[in-house]
């Protein structure tokens, strides 16, 4: 049985108190929300913080507020997000992403903040201590070499959060609070293309909320590739959002990719679509353009070349859904195919 290492547990009740603890403890402390990723990681000795700062008693992090857009507290569970009629109706891409994270049990515990700040993943890293020791560890933890790209000076572990690409496509921001002050950043800027230093969040900052802009006139969607339809981390996530004029011309669009790099990122596909109608030819061209930006590495499930190839296909599914096509049959076919894989 894998055991947790020893740590001190703090249970603050306000954001101010969390910020004070982080300022005092420095990088030795880590935040824990639902613990669905961090605690298994600690058992595998990926992280061994001397202090864990629990966020479950911080009620301010658990609110949903309507305004010009929607403010989602970072401590909301994914199940709460999925149960929100406002999220489902206005931010469908986020709803689809959140409802495909892990399993119902894990969505009952896992939070939005924890999902956005999820550690990157890799076949050579998500293993127990003894397994990793047997290969002399790797650059991400305790070792020197990257076993995926031995000449690389950078860890290429994969960003595996489902909600982040959806939030990037929706144009969301995040609020970061520390004892020194607070700031808002576009969620795309929260990420570095580095499997180790994957967040631009400072260790003394707490992510308190996700801020979604007004969604009037926008539609959005999220398409996830994974082996098992019941639950699995994404090996590709395509998120798209668009505002269409009455004649079907794209006024504005964003297409973001997840799980094909160490960071979720915005592609040029949205800019290409602006001013065009979503014809089959335009969709196919956008798919090719988006696929050219995907750089999957051979450190997660499925064949790496096939994963790059299907990016165009998944982008086309997403855009056809935004155009108004009924894509239920395709979603069902994918789920069935995944079950047989």
Residue 111 interacts with, from ligand FAD, ligand SF4, none (CB under 5-8 Å by kind): ligand FAD
Selected binder of ligand FAD within 78, 139, 167, 290 (CB under 6 A): 78
Residue 38 to residues 96, 115, 203, 305, Cα–Cα distance (Å): 24, 11, 15, 31
Per rule CB under 6 A, is residue 300 in the interface with ligand FAD? Answer: no
Q: How far is the CB of 126 from ligand SF4 (least distance, A)?
A: 8
Nearer to ligand FAD, 209 or 253 (CB): 209
Q: Which residues bind ligand SF4 (CB under 6 A)?
A: 122, 124-125, 138-140, 146-148, 155-157, 195, 299
Contact string 18-37 vs ligand FAD (x = CB under 6 A): ------------xxxxxxxx
Per rule CB under 6 A, is residue 231 in the interface with ligand FAD? Answer: yes
Number of residues lying near ligand FAD (CB under 6 A):
33
Residue 30 interacts with, from ligand FAD, ligand SF4, none (CB under 5-8 Å by kind): ligand FAD
End-to-end alpha carbon distance in the chain = 30
Residue 257 interacts with, from ligand SF4, ligand FAD, none (CB under 5-8 Å by kind): none
Q: How far is the CB of 291 from ligand SF4 (least distance, A)?
A: 22
Three-class SS of the chain:
CCCCCCCEEECCCCHHHHHHHHHHHHHHEEEECCCCCHHHHHHCCCCCCCEEEECCCCHHHHCEEECCCEEEECCCEHHHHHCCHHHHHHCHHHHHHHHCCCCHHHHHHCEHHHHHCCCCECCCCCCCHHHHHHCCCECCEECCCCCCCCCCCCCCCECCCCHHHHHHHCCCEEEEEECCEEEEEEHHHHECCCCCCCECCCCCCEEEEEEECCCCCEEEEEEEECCCCCCCCCCEEEEEEEEECCCCEEEEEEEEEECCCCCCEECCHHHHHCCCECCHHHHHHHHHHHHHHCCCCCCCCCCHHHHHHHHHHHHHHHHHHHHCCCCHHHHHHHHHHHHHC
Nearer to ligand SF4, 99 or 263 (CB): 263
Nearer to ligand FAD, 203 or 320 (CB): 203
Nearer to ligand SF4, 136 or 182 (CB): 136
Nearer to ligand FAD, 231 or 272 (CB): 231
Residue 299 interacts with, from ligand FAD, ligand SF4, none (CB under 5-8 Å by kind): ligand SF4
Selected binder of ligand FAD within 91, 233, 265, 314 (CB under 6 A): 233
Distance between CA atoms of residues 315 and 222, nearest Å: 9
Per rule CB under 6 A, is residue 239 in the interface with ligand FAD? Answer: no
Nearer to ligand SF4, 25 or 119 (CB): 119
Residues near ligand FAD (CB under 6 A): 30-38, 40, 55, 74, 78, 101-102, 106, 109-111, 113-115, 117-119, 160-162, 206-207, 231-233
């Amino acid at each position: 049985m894998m055991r947790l290492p020893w740590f001190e547990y703090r249970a603050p009740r306000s954001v101010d108190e969390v910020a004070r603890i982080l300022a005092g403890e420095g990088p030795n402390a880590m935040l824990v929300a639902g613990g669905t990723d961090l605690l298994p990681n600690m058992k595998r000795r990926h992280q061994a913080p001397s202090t864990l700062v629990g966020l479950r008693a911080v009620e301010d992090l658990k609110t949903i507020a309507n305004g010009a857009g929607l403010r989602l507290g970072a401590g909301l569970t994914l199940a709460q997000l999925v149960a929100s009629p406002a999220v489902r109706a206005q931010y469908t891409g986020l709803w689809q992403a959140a409802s495909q994270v892990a399993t119902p049990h894990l969505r009952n515990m896992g939070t939005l903040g924890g999902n956005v700040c999820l550690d990157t993943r890799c076949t050579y890293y998500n293993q127990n201590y003894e397994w990793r020791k047997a290969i002399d560890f790797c650059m991400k933890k305790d070792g020197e070499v990257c076993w995926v790209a031995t000449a690389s000076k950078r860890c290429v572990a994969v960003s595996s959060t489902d909600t982040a690409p959806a939030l990037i496509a929706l144009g969301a921001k995040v609020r970061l609070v520390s004892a020194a002050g607070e700031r808002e950043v576009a969620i795309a800027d929260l990420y570095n293309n580095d499997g180790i230093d994957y967040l631009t969040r400072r260790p003394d900052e707490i992510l308190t909320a996700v801020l979604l802009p007004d969604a009037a006139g926008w539609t959005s969607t999220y398409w996830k590739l994974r082996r098992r339809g019941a639950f699995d981390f994404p090996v590709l996530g395509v998120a798209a959002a668009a505002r269409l004029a009455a004649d079907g011309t794209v006024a504005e669009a964003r297409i973001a990719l997840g799980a094909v790099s160490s960071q979720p990122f915005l592609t040029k596909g949205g800019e290409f679509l602006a001013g065009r109608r979503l014809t089959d030819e335009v969709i196919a061209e956008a798919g090719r353009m988006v696929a050219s930006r995907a750089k999957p590495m051979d450190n997660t499930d499925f064949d790496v070349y096939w994963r790059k190839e299907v990016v165009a296909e998944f982008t086309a599914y997403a855009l056809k859904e935004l155009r108004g096509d009924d894509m239920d049959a395709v979603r069902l076919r994918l789920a069935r195919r995944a079950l047989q894989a």
